[in-house]
Amino acid sequence: MQADTLVVRENGEHRSTAPHVLPIYATSSFVFEDISQGIEIFKNIESGHVYSRYANPTVDAVADKIAQLESFGSDHIPYAVMTSSGMAAISTLLMGVLKSGDKVLTQGDLYGGTTELLKSVLGNFGVETIFTDLKDLAGTELLLRTEENIRMVYCETPSNPTLACYDIASIAALSHQYGALCAVDNTFATPMLQKPLLVGADFVIHSTTKYLNGHGNSIAGVVVGFDRDLMRGGVWKAMKLAGTNCSPFEAWLTSNGMKTLALRMERHCSNAMKIAAFLSEHPAVERVNYPGLPIHPDHELAKKQMSGGFGGMLSFELKSGMEGALKCMDSLKLCTQAPTLGDVDTLILHPASSSHLAVPRETRIENGITDGLIRVSVGIENPDDLIADLDQAIRK
């Protein structure tokens, strides 16, 4: 072998013992021992990695941990597919299980991106979305009974940004009664506080960008489910063919962040409760949305289906409306204005002018997303510092 050939060739692995931390498998493809192995892997006779768009050891390890978290306490075998973002997770799920002519039944107070995806993208491919109040179980049952071709009931609980909670077990039971699938976006609660699969949901979706990673340095998503045929068939196939796969580096960053998930969620929850209590007594605040408060309309439901806390997300409405909300945002000194959530530091967002800008105003107002509403992703800082910053900004 000549030197110019040697420099091109891989020199093999020089690992003598197992790594303590998950390695990043930064490779686009994998090598077969011989043609027979390649044929067997492509025919699914033998399992093995082929191409990182299909599967990757780093990504698989992280997906498996998330699946285990969502199914913790169950004897069922979970399956997970990681994607390039939370929106990619939602898109991949919908592409994987829906077809033209199918309908999705969902709530009005969804994350704005999900609403726009359902209406502006899925609608172009013949998938109709029906918006309803999923808290009205009788009305939900009526739609499932009378509307043909409802293939999926899609739920987000607690919802973004009003923190409304929906009865997962009842919605899942109704879905299955009429032959529909039930999917739940569990991003706000995380599997540390809520496990939708264990009460009947067919799928759980996360933007792992948020709490699972928790440090604002990775964008990824995941779909988890128990049904092997749906997960390994439709969902994985949609990920593979649409190219919505997660990169090994993003998965690795998610893995690192998840190691402190339990500790972080404890602090997020306790801080959010203290701040929600403070805001609920502030004379300039019209209302506070936090399921941990006894005054929250869904408090009893949240107590029933969430455990270990009520999450780190809250929102509050200022009596001074849009003008007051924008001035408050610009007066903050410690809290950061950023269009994301779930980081270790406190992040503030004005939904009407950002995340829900594309949602018609009448739809926003109808679902409690008013012009004066401010969303807070409560971090793990000292809560007294956060309260002082919010107080001085609100007073201005």
Q: What is the pLDDT along the chain (396 residues), one digit of tens a residue?
A: 999 988 899 888 888 899 999 999 999 999 999 999 989 988 888 889 999 999 999 999 999 999 999 999 999 999 999 999 999 999 999 999 999 999 999 999 988 899 999 999 999 999 999 999 999 999 999 999 999 999 999 999 999 999 999 999 999 999 999 999 999 999 999 999 999 999 999 999 999 999 999 999 999 999 999 999 999 999 999 999 999 999 999 999 999 999 999 999 999 999 999 999 999 999 999 999 999 999 999 999 999 999 999 999 999 999 999 999 999 999 999 999 999 999 999 999 999 988 788 778 888 888 889 999 999 999 999 999 999 999 999 998
All CATH 3.90.1150.10 domain ranges of the chain, comma separated, are 261-395
Active-site position among 60, 79, 103, 111: 111
**Eight-class DSSP state of 353:** G
Active-site residue 111, yes or no?
yes
Contact 380, 263 (CB under 8 A): no
Q: Which of 102, 167, 185, 371 is catalytic?
A: 185
pTM: 0.95
Q: Is 185 in the active site?
A: yes
Residue 164's Cβ-side half-sphere holds a number of Cα atoms within 13 Å equal to 16
The alpha-helical segments, DSSP class H, found in the chain are: 3-6, 35-42, 57-70, 86-97, 112-116, 137-146, 168-177, 190-193, 228, 236-242, 248-258, 261-280, 299-305, 321-331, 361-366, 383-395
261-395: CATH topology is: Aspartate Aminotransferase, domain 1 (3.90.1150)
Residue 158, preceding bond cis, omega within 30 degrees?
yes
Residues 6+ apart with CB under 8 A from 369: 109, 161, 162, 351, 352, 356, 359
Q: Which CATH architecture has domain 35-258?
A: 3-Layer(aba) Sandwich (3.40)
User: Is 210 tagged catalytic?
Assistant: yes
Catalytic: which of 103, 151, 195, 210?
A: 210
Asked about 53 being catalytic, the answer comes back as yes
